[in-house]
Amino acid sequence: MISLPFKTLPIMPQSFKSQSLAGDQGGRGQGLALVLEGVSVSRGGKQPVLRNISLALPAGTRMGIVGPSGSGKTTLLRTIAGLERLAAGALVIDGRDAAAIPPHQRGIGMIFQDDALYPHLTVAENLHFPLRAAGVPRGLRQQKVADLARRLGIESLLDRDPSQLSGGQRRRVAVGRGVIAEPRLLLLDEPLSQLDTPLRWQLRELLLELQAERGMTMLMVTHDATEAMSMVEHLVVLEEGIVAQAGEVRQVSQEPCSATVASLLTIPPMNFLDVTFESGPAAETPMLRVGTDGPRLPWFGQGLEPGPLRLGFPPTAVSRISLGLSPEHGNRPMEDRTAAAGDGGESTFRLLGRVRVSHPWLERWLVECQLVAAEVDGGSLAAGLSPEPQRLRLLVSLPQPPATGSIIEIEIARSRCFLFCSQTAHRLWPLPAEPPRVVAGTVSGAARDS
């Protein structure tokens, strides 16, 4: 029986979980364009490039794959396309075992990062090629090429060779060649990279229009998380050849399972402060000390009573902790502190930073500052955080940029913070779906151990 160990991906139809990958070919994975179960890929007998990848993609949906360089994103696309050999696992495309299907018969269109146009063919011939391979009659081929060339804005380029095109023109032709045969599954490897902003937006909108019109299933690799989240419904984060996290875009971006995921999906990148747990005035109250000799912050769980049970692990079990703070945290200049102190609501603390540099960020200012002090729930100010400088990136809304050397205040609600284990990068708080396990004095996430 199929058993996909993918509890964080809410796109697996319940009815498919009980179906077998062996036996009856008809009806397997009905409604699913693509299924990977336990897929691993190795090269030259070395460490696997991909390890135990399990995904399910419903027909007609859009999924993005992001991750650091070398995480296996492009290898995953090449494996689905049949350009890499499976070392283990199963790959099912439209209910059929892909191992028995040659690459050219998989019904897949692919847009490569380097365009990969045939240099000896004209633009028109490059567009005709997938249709000719699919046996489309000549008259219909000509009509399809003319219609798509018009939509792509390349009618005047049809008689040119690829060497005569600009980078943006080559990318338009590559997009056209990838979609012209109306593949059931469209694979895109960095489709909008190295394009100027207007063309990037034009091609983005065109790809989404074509995908919706033709009902294609789309799987896109990109290093740009913002681009991915603006184009797809589901997101997969790869890290060192494994699935670090997957799910709907909103769920993955707002509930990162690790510091790695948080840093990839936060623009500007999330801030991480070194903190340690200490005993509070009451046995049930864990305290966070910022830095080495900084102030202690009482830690409460989203308005609930404090205590180690709210953390899901004994605070003493983890020696190194990172406090994750988004640059989007509400913040205000020092002159607004009086008004802020009267605000009601959830438990907060304030950090004060000395401005090092600031520059425009859309309609706000991106400020980089060095942490100098903290204030807890309107209480006294505690300075001298640590001999090691801890820096923050903040987005602030001010008429003018804060002056270099001035003090800026960041008011932080605990419910918008994250705690990560510095050794494993796994999220410790808010509690993940599967609580971390304490092993030999460190915390290990269930997802990586499985």
**CA–CA separation, 93 and 64 (whole Å):** 18
**CA–CA separation, 259 and 241 (whole Å):** 17
Query: What pLDDT shows up at residue 357?
Result: 93
Query: What pLDDT shows up at residue 47?
Result: 81
Tokens at 173, concatenated:
């032709």
Rounded alpha-carbon distances, angstroms, from residue 154 to 127, 147, 176, 188, 333: 11, 10, 10, 20, 51
Share of the chain above pLDDT 90, in %: 36
Query: What pLDDT shows up at residue 286?
Result: 65
Mapping DSSP onto H, E and C, the string for 199-262 reads HHHHHHHHHHHHHHHHCCEEEEECCCHHHHHHHCCEEEEEECCEEEEEEEHHHHHHCCCEHHHH
Tokens at 231, concatenated:
């184009």
**CA–CA separation, 416 and 63 (whole Å):** 27
Rounded alpha-carbon distances, angstroms, from residue 87 to 39, 102, 280: 8, 17, 52
Read off the pLDDT of residues 49-78 as tens digits, 9 standing for 90 and up: 999 999 999 999 999 999 988 899 999 999
Task: Give the pLDDT mean for 288-304.
Answer: 62
Read off the pLDDT of residues 245-275 as tens digits, 9 standing for 90 and up: 999 999 998 889 999 999 888 888 899 988 8
**pLDDT greater at residue 13 or residue 301:** 301
Query: What pLDDT shows up at residue 381?
Result: 53
Q: Are 263 and 325 in contact (CB under 8 A)?
A: no
Query: What pLDDT shows up at residue 388?
Result: 60
DSSP, residue by residue, 378-440: T--EEE---SS--EEEEEE--SSPPPTT-EEEEEEEGGG-EEEETTT-BEEESPPSS--EEET
In angstroms, how far apart are the furthest CA atoms of the chain?
82
Residue 19, pLDDT > 80, answer no
Query: What pLDDT shows up at residue 217?
Result: 94
Phi/psi-derived region of residue 210, left when phi > 0, alpha when psi is between -120 and 50, beta in every other case: alpha
Query: What pLDDT shows up at residue 4?
Result: 28
Strands 331-333, 321-325: pairing is unpaired
**CA–CA separation, 221 and 191 (whole Å):** 8
Among the listed ranges 36-40, 168-172, 223-227, which one has the minimum average pLDDT value?
A: 223-227
Residue 124, pLDDT > 90, answer yes
Q: How confident is the model at residue 443 (pLDDT cuts 50, 70, 90)?
A: very low
**pLDDT greater at residue 306 or residue 360:** 360
Read off the pLDDT of residues 70-107 as tens digits, 9 standing for 90 and up: 899 999 999 999 999 999 999 999 889 998 888 888 88
**CA–CA separation, 245 and 256 (whole Å):** 8
Query: What pLDDT shows up at residue 196?
Result: 82
Query: What pLDDT shows up at residue 298?
Result: 64
Task: Give the pLDDT mean for 172-189.
Answer: 92
Q: Are 429 and 301 in contact (CB under 8 A)?
A: yes
Q: Is 204 exposed, middle or buried (0-12, 13-18, 19+ CB in 10 A)?
A: middle
The per-residue pLDDT of the chain, averaged, comes to 77
**CA–CA separation, 101 and 115 (whole Å):** 25
Read off the pLDDT of residues 325-364 as tens digits, 9 standing for 90 and up: 888 764 444 444 433 444 445 567 777 888 999 999 888 8
Q: How confident is the model at residue 306 (pLDDT cuts 50, 70, 90)?
A: very low
**pLDDT greater at residue 165 or residue 226:** 165
Please list the alpha-helical segments (H only) found in 249-384: 249-254, 259-265, 308-311, 337-341
Residue 160, pLDDT > 90, answer yes
Strands 234-239, 62-66: pairing is parallel
This prediction has a pTM of 0.78
Cα angle vertex 183, ends 181, 187, to 5°?
120
DSSP letter at 104 equals G
Read off the pLDDT of residues 428-442 as tens digits, 9 standing for 90 and up: 888 655 444 333 333
Tokens at 163, concatenated:
């060497």
